[in-house]
């Protein structure tokens, strides 16, 4: 449904930008998972506004309160409700958009759909809605790491506008690299250029977009479904449900359309004798290349799951733009307010959260049908 | 769930390639929609194997039988079951793959998931599974054209390998152009080159992929949901649930990441005085560009919905490939059998069918909540 | 799912008795419904503990806070989150049940299911969980009365133990009668006897059960579904999902099994010339009797929907009872604490709430498929 | 949804009485369950018309064909489609009801809902719709007996009109008793009287109803959910979704409302030293009485699950009845055709089937969340 995600590990989110608060209920979480508010805060702090000079200066501490479902640091198996109160609200900054539809934003379509909308802060279309996702994702991650000790999910900025990070060769040191620069890219050299670019477009009242890549390790073979709920289909939906996304590709993606079958196919081979983390058997089916991106026929094959998401430049810019009013008259909008000139640095933990949610749901589904 | 798609207009598909048959049940179809088996056959014939020299020579007439839900050419509002019997089965052609996993196919992952699989014809991972989707999509289309007289959904091949069709300027004559060439591209000149390429790779036992674009006109503003079930998210899931897809992008897509916000934003303006098809008012909110691809904040804005899907080269090729056996021994596979060297020409009606399904579902959802 | 109810008007509840709070998210509510916290409070006050001498003396004011989905007194169409903080918690009263399973309560089965449970207050199995249902039901009621001006749903106590209320002849004055006595029965004379009985069993540390009847007027013909989601099936599930319920019957119910078909059938006739409230036509299909209880073939027929629910005597009694401990040793439990000696007076608004939820969901479903 | 049942073990049914056929798709069945068409036929033959002198003389052999999901006698984990062709159709017998609404039948409400209906045979409201349920239930039963060797589910006729079967003392010989008489009651003496009564009312063109009881053994503690999807709530919905049902009660049921808490509570004790079938431990938590009916707080406690369902007398009788026409004129209907004067004997396997479906779904759900 509209604001409910998942089949067995189900997240129901709520909240407008300028209402009392935002949050979620997680239904279907396994019991006896160790969980504290600090686990959630760790991830929420990564998506928090005001965390660096290239994000919005809005100050929200985004403190998560667990309202139910956890006693003495352990989940009960019953719904976990999480609430984050809204704090830094300056509704006066939204006077302009009361009557003028912001281009490439959701103002017009909300009116077209509901005949009413929460104007301040963009209401439900605000990026604050993703707080519930990040909190829920932090819980999904705990379920997965409890099941697979070597489970790792790492997203990072692959490009900002026309600045591309160099190829990632090994995941091992990646987490520390990504978190060592405020743009959250995997390439420290590119980071400098990206930051400079973001600061420049901000000073011009403009914005930029880019591409985030996500690599997931440790997922066992067999997750996913053969038809509609293919693992890549559910990942695509999860990512395309994030604000500002315009594209999703997995493995070889769009570039793979320029290969022939003999170039594209991932040949299988038996891996032997290696120190296989968390494997029960000394041999394992592997592929020599990974153009499949870790999923074949909708089902994980044990290789790294690798996908990329395109984020458009932030729609809210501080330049005058022709548009129409809610009374359907042509007008000019010059937005004020505090906005991210580039959403990607803060989107990294959100991409990870959605990945955890999809994988945790399929993990439980797999256990139900094929244990 | 695994083989059920949709919230209100729900399709449940079944069938393996070499079982008794394939088909679906549609639950939730509105009553009193005119429907005959010929309506289904029209679309099924477009996805049928053996329809041209560049598709698989497999001969399946794919005759659809409506088992329920329709009396005297009108839907009853109760479940519509559709059955297509399997005919041209040559199981001997699958002897090789009984023991050897086909690279980049679903053989290994099905075994990893279920511990069992239908070997002949690829079982459930066969493209025959899409027959149920196409039949259901034909019904969804009838619901939509009944509601919106000017509703049109047209998919076409945008590129095959490195051959790109020229830009589409107007939709008007598009359907006839697309169906006038066997590759189903919108550019008759490119069609010749594409056909020649496909014939060449087939002769080499190889395969190619490409990109399909889909344009949808006549969708009213207001369809979609603001959070998880964004219209583009459900379209992405629908497309990424098709066999051989590796990417999805809408509107500006991945290329949009190289624009700035001021370049990318779609400015609104009021359209007046024109002869607006099926509009109730003489003015209409429009955008001057359509980088949003017809969807903003997850909700349709009345502009054309435009998206693209990447299809990888067919995994089944007739060249020797190193792989592993189901007993986990390294081996060599040289597949036989009749396969499409390029799936795109037959994928065009399938893309349209999935589009109809997503839009029909959201049309009913919109009517329920916001009539 | 476990804690999510409904197909289109979806309620997700959360909360343990002694956690931070209880509440719910409603997803799918139509926009522009007038709604204030007072609307919720009205119904919450009817289920509140401590409201009369025959309910538990626990004092909870149960103040509802709307966290999202409503701006300036109107629903937005986006999720409505409601929070009620827990206040009057005396965890020491639960020391006895930490180790001893309360007979006919959920202590043992929660442990069997989850391997963990929230002991204080019964956790999720507490009647406090119904707060979310009552709040959500209040919103569903507003949707329904907005659609059908003459919609009325009235539940009342039909019997307590062996004291039966006399038959209800007309609904007209019923609401005032029911709310005029603290046991919420439709028969003021029986009320005195029921109250005396409840006070007597309380003084003995014992408890009693009874039957609640619910009458719904103004539901238009056509609501419900023909097969699994029959209207009576969804009502049965809704009522049997309430704590302490042991039975559900509609129309003639169990007594109807002792009639013949010719006695039981409800003959149709045409009603004419009457002042039909909210009817668009001067004639209407009616039945002379209503053994069907307002539903035929799973679909409402426009007659009053009438059903009854059996509530067992409260499981928590203040007498010593043999039982087993969580360490699986035989033991004796003598519960302390403040409990309702009879749940029915407070269950009346909960039955109404669940009825509103079922009907509102089917109202939206009907609008989607058969507008 | 309307014609889809279950969360993980999902059944989608289709088919009208006089269409091409009826059947279902089961999505989510675990793989490697031994399954043949004979397994289905065994149960279908128990619900078949024409099986004895007290059922309808309609002759349908109801042969089930498995269309997908099974290879070499083993389930694949993919959807299992089942088709039963309709055979013995005499549409002329339905001429009368083309225009006259049958009292207490679904003719009027279908028209009110959909504005169209399949007249012959009652269309979707026909009892033939239950064929899909019985076939799916047979598969669910195989999943459950594979998991729990001692799983048993037995339904039987408890009363017909005012003739009651004597109390069942032990389940052991019950199956053979129930199947030894054509009325499927647990009391051979009562069987004679019941059969005589049914034959008498048939000769009078009349009908009778009654009560079916169902006992389930071997269900492990922990199945079910604490709130909306309580095990008894899902059983109630399942049973109330069957044609002709008017009531459901579990354990003490409506009679339990006349007991006090001290009389009603089921005391726990430890069972030791016995030869416990399929138990892993030599001791087990038991209750001395079973007024809970095997479920506490929505979750199974390991005791027998015991419930009863009220079936009204068959609505179709062969006597003249006042009614209205589809043109809304008063008229008289005298039905012809071949009907069951009492649905209970054939309803017994249907009740069992729905029980298997509910329990199998909760078995998979339990495995997913709490393995």
Distance CA(D157)–CA(D163), nearest Å, equals 10
Confidence (pLDDT) at C93 = 61
| Average pLDDT value over all residues in chain A | 92
Out of A3, A243, A283, the one facing B328 most closely (by C-beta) is A283
Residue burial B99-111, b: 16+ Cβ < 10 Å; e: rest: ebbbbbbbbbbbb
How high is the ipTM of this complex?
0.96
Confidence (pLDDT) at C195 = 97
Confidence (pLDDT) at B278 = 47
Contact state of D114 with B32 under an 8 Å Cβ cutoff? yes
pLDDT digits (tens, 9 = 90+) for B14-60: 999 888 999 999 999 999 999 999 999 999 999 998 898 888 887 78
Q: What is the 3-state secondary structure (H, E, C) of chain D?
A: CCCEECCCCEEEEECCCCCCEEEEEEECCCCCCECCHHHHHHHHHHHCCCCCCCCCCCCCCCCEEECCCEECCEECCCCEEEEEECCCCCHHHHHHHHHECCCCCCHHHHHHHHCCCCCHHHHHHCHHHHHHHHHHHHHHHHHHHHHCCCCEEEEEEEEECCEECCCCCCCCCHHHHHHHCCCCECCHHHHHHHHHHHHHHHHCCCCECEEEEEEEECCCCCCECCCCCCHHHHHHHHHHCCCCEEEEEECCHHHHHHCEHHHHCCCEEEEECCCCCCCCCCEEEEECCCCCCCEECCEECCCCEEEEEEECCCCCCCCEEEEEECCCCEEEEECCCCCCCCCHHHHHHHHHHHHHHHHHHHHHHHHHHHC
The answer to whether residue B187 scores a pLDDT higher than 70 is: yes
The answer to whether residue A33 scores a pLDDT higher than 50 is: yes
B16 interface with D at CB cutoff 8 Å:
yes
Give one word for C111, left, alpha or beta, with left for phi > 0 and alpha for psi -120 to 50: alpha
Distance CA(C242)–CA(C235), nearest Å, equals 11
Confidence (pLDDT) at C171 = 61
Quote the pTM value. Answer: 0.96
Contacts of C31 in chain B (CB under 8 A): 369-370
Q: How many CB pairs under 8 A join A and B?
A: 378
pLDDT digits (tens, 9 = 90+) for D222-255: 999 999 999 999 999 999 999 999 999 999 999 9
Contacts of A16 in chain C (CB under 8 A): 68-69, 71, 76, 78
Confidence (pLDDT) at A93 = 61
Closest residue of D to C200, CA-based? D260
Nearest-10 crossing angle of helices A344-370, A130-147: 50
Confidence (pLDDT) at D336 = 78
Q: Tell me what the mean pLDDT of segment C195-211 comes to.
A: 97
- Domain holding B226, by residue range, is 4-251+292-370
D233 interface with C at CB cutoff 8 Å:
yes
Q: Tell me what the mean pLDDT of segment A169-198 comes to.
A: 87
Distance CA(A40)–CA(A136), nearest Å, equals 8
Looking at the domain assignment, is residue D162 inside a domain? yes
Looking at the domain assignment, is residue D283 inside a domain? no
Phi, psi (rounded to 5 degrees) for A66: -85, 120
Confidence (pLDDT) at D2 = 80
Distance CA(C166)–CA(C151), nearest Å, equals 24
- D82, with CB counted inside 10 A (0-12, 13-18, 19+), is buried
- Grouping H, G, I as helix, E, B as strand and the rest as coil, residue C8 is coil
C67 interface with A at CB cutoff 8 Å:
yes
pLDDT class for C278, splitting at 50, 70, 90? very low
Looking at the domain assignment, is residue D257 inside a domain? no
Looking at the domain assignment, is residue C285 inside a domain? no
Closest CA to B324 of A287, A353, A53, D356: A287
B103 interface with A at CB cutoff 8 Å:
yes
Contact state of D124 with B4 under an 8 Å Cβ cutoff? no
∠ Cα A142 A143 A148 (to 5°): 95
Confidence (pLDDT) at C280 = 55
Looking at the domain assignment, is residue B129 inside a domain? yes
Q: Tell me what the mean pLDDT of segment C207-214 comes to.
A: 98
Looking at the domain assignment, is residue C262 inside a domain? no
- Grouping H, G, I as helix, E, B as strand and the rest as coil, residue B206 is coil
C113 interface with D at CB cutoff 8 Å:
yes
pLDDT digits (tens, 9 = 90+) for C236-267: 999 999 999 999 999 999 999 999 999 999 99
Within a 13 Å sphere around the CA of C332, how many CA atoms are in the beta-carbon half?
Answer: 4
Confidence (pLDDT) at B61 = 87
Distance CA(C240)–CA(A49), nearest Å, equals 46
- Token pair listed for A147: 């099941």
Confidence (pLDDT) at D1 = 59
pLDDT class for D318, splitting at 50, 70, 90? very high
Q: How far is B72 from chain A (nearest CA, A)?
A: 32
pLDDT digits (tens, 9 = 90+) for D273-287: 654 454 456 789 999
- D275, with CB counted inside 10 A (0-12, 13-18, 19+), is exposed
C265 interface with D at CB cutoff 8 Å:
yes
Looking at the domain assignment, is residue D271 inside a domain? no
- Grouping H, G, I as helix, E, B as strand and the rest as coil, residue C12 is strand
Distance CA(D205)–CA(D220), nearest Å, equals 46
Among A105-119, A272-286, B124-138, C175-189, name the one with the lowest average pLDDT: A272-286
Q: Tell me what the mean pLDDT of segment B299-313 comes to.
A: 98
Closest residue of C to B361, CA-based? C368
Q: Which residues contact C256 (CB under 8 A, 6 or more apart)?
A: C264, C291, D209, D246, D247, D310, D312, D313
| Average pLDDT value over all residues in chain D | 92
The answer to whether residue B168 scores a pLDDT higher than 80 is: no
Distance CA(A104)–CA(D352), nearest Å, equals 56
Higher pLDDT among residues C26 and A170, named by residue: C26
pLDDT digits (tens, 9 = 90+) for D51-62: 988 888 877 889
The answer to whether residue C38 scores a pLDDT higher than 50 is: yes
Q: Tell me what the mean pLDDT of segment A18-37 comes to.
A: 96
The answer to whether residue A119 scores a pLDDT higher than 90 is: no
Confidence (pLDDT) at C273 = 63
Among C118-132, C353-367, D292-306, name the one with the lowest average pLDDT: C118-132
Q: Which residues contact A275 (CB under 8 A, 6 or more apart)?
A: none
A210 interface with C at CB cutoff 8 Å:
no
Q: Tell me what the mean pLDDT of segment B161-186 comes to.
A: 84
User: Domain with B72 in it: what CATH number?
Assistant: 3.60.150.10
| Average pLDDT value over all residues in chain C | 92
Distance CA(D57)–CA(A355), nearest Å, equals 58
- Token pair listed for D179: 């199947």
Q: What percent of chain D stands above pLDDT 70?
A: 93
Closest CA to D353 of D149, D130, D168, D28: D130
Overall domain count for chain A: 1
Q: Tell me what the mean pLDDT of segment B314-332 comes to.
A: 94
The answer to whether residue A288 scores a pLDDT higher than 90 is: yes
**What letter does residue C128 receive in the DSSP assignment?**
G
Per the listing, tokens 């298997």 go with D356
Higher pLDDT among residues C278 and C129, named by residue: C129
- Token pair listed for C316: 């928590």
Contacts of C161 in chain D (CB under 8 A): 257-258, 260
| Contact criterion met (CB below 8 Å) for B252 and A246 | yes
Confidence (pLDDT) at D43 = 96
The answer to whether residue D106 scores a pLDDT higher than 60 is: yes
C3 interface with D at CB cutoff 8 Å:
yes
pLDDT digits (tens, 9 = 90+) for A226-261: 999 999 999 999 999 999 999 999 999 999 999 999
pLDDT digits (tens, 9 = 90+) for D26-72: 999 999 999 999 999 999 999 998 898 888 887 788 999 999 999 99
Phi, psi (rounded to 5 degrees) for A140: -60, -40
Touching B (3+ Cβ pairs <8 A), the chains are: A, C, D
Looking at the domain assignment, is residue A44 inside a domain? yes
Contact state of B28 with C367 under an 8 Å Cβ cutoff? no
C328 interface with B at CB cutoff 8 Å:
no
Helix (H) or strand (E) segment spanning residue A211: strand A210-217
pLDDT digits (tens, 9 = 90+) for D351-371: 999 999 999 999 999 999 998
DSSP tally for chain C: helices H, then strands E:
9, 18
D159 interface with C at CB cutoff 8 Å:
yes
Out of B31, B77, B368, the one facing C8 most closely (by C-beta) is B368
């Amino acid at each position: 449904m509209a604001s409910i995600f998942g089949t067995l590990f189900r997240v129901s989110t709520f909240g407008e930008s300028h209402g009392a608060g935002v949050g979620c209920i997680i239904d279907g979480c396994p019991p006896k998972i160790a969980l504290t508010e600090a686990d959630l805060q760790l991830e929420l702090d990564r998506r928090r506004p005001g965390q660096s000079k290239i994000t919005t200066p809005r100050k929200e501490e985004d403190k998560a309160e667990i309202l139910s479902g956890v006693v003495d640091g352990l989940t009960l198996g019953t719904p976990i409700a999480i609430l984050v109160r809204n704090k830094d609200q300056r509704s006066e900054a939204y006077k302009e958009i009361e009557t003028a539809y912001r281009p490439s934003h959701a103002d017009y379509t909300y009116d077209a759909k509901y005949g009413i909308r929460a104007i301040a802060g963009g209401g439900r279309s605000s990026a604050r809605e993703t707080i519930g996702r990040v909190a829920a994702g932090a819980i999904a991650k705990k379920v997965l790491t409890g099941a697979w000790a070597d489970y790792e999910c790492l997203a990072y900025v692959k490009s900002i506008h026309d600045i591309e990070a160099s190829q990632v060769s090994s995941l091992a040191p990646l987490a520390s690299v990504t978190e060592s620069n405020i743009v959250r890219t995997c390439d420290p050299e590119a980071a400098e250029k990206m930051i400079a670019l973001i600061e420049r477009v901000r000073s011009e009242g403009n914005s930029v977009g880019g591409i985030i890549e996500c690599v997931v390790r440790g997922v066992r073979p067999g997750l996913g479904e053969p038809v509609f709920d293919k693992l890549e289909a559910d990942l695509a939906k999860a990512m395309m449900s994030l604000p500002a996304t315009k594209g999703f590709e997995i493995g070889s993606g769009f570039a793979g359309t320029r290969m022939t079958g003999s170039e594209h196919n991932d040949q299988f081979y038996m891996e032997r004798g290696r120190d296989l983390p968390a494997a029960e058997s000394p041999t394992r089916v592997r592929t020599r290349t990974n153009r499949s991106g870790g999923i074949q026929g909708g089902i994980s094959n044990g290789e790294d799951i690798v996908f990329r998401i395109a984020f458009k430049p932030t729609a809210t810019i501080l330049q005058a733009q022709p548009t129409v009013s809610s009374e359907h008259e042509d007008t000019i909008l010059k937005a004020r307010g505090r906005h991210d000139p580039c959403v990607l640095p803060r989107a990294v933990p959100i991409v990870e959260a959605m990945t955890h949610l999809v994988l945790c749901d399929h993990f439980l589904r797999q256990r139900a049908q094929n244990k």
